[in-house]
Structure 1
């Protein structure tokens, strides 16, 4: 597990929107979509899943979603490396894809804990 700092500010909003893009991308895949399920219903179903199931959804969605570099950076800046230093563009460049997936998934798991009221 990656250490994740408090998610807030403009980058926090970018990270939240990127997480939503990942979830929506998964929702749009016909093989994973429930018949006649709305996105709101999917989010409710997602919130009732185990952490392992949620992590698997994020992993699957990373294969298909189109999140841009700024969104990836916004997500990853909330994670810290083994030395406690927040990830930035320079130190992300040398990571393996699997490591990036782990960081993105760990931060997204923290973002889903944030409750947004409309």
Structure 2
């Protein structure tokens, strides 16, 4: 049985992996927001694989007990933070993407629960009633 942390890691890990898969099969039509990342020599396919790997890492960590599941939380942040920052920078200061701040804010809101849940302790399991 997954605890709260495990359920969170499984759901967000699945979301990240599916987002990455979506980038592989149907890449973003408008890459203005992530041009900063793409110009660093890492193609969108590699970023998509990064999303998948980070998501799968979180999903594997979901089944581990508290204390051993820690790697899943930075794995989720590892891919979303550069994505969020690239969208923000595409809006300001570069000015290439007028709606970059919206996407950056969406990814920032997705990152906040990762940080919050990483600090949660699992509640003690109830004793079996006989």
TM-score normalised by the chain length of structure 1: 0.31
Higher helix share: 2
Structure whose CA Rg is larger: 2
Higher relative contact order (CA 8 A, sep 6+): 1
TM-score normalised by the chain length of structure 2: 0.29
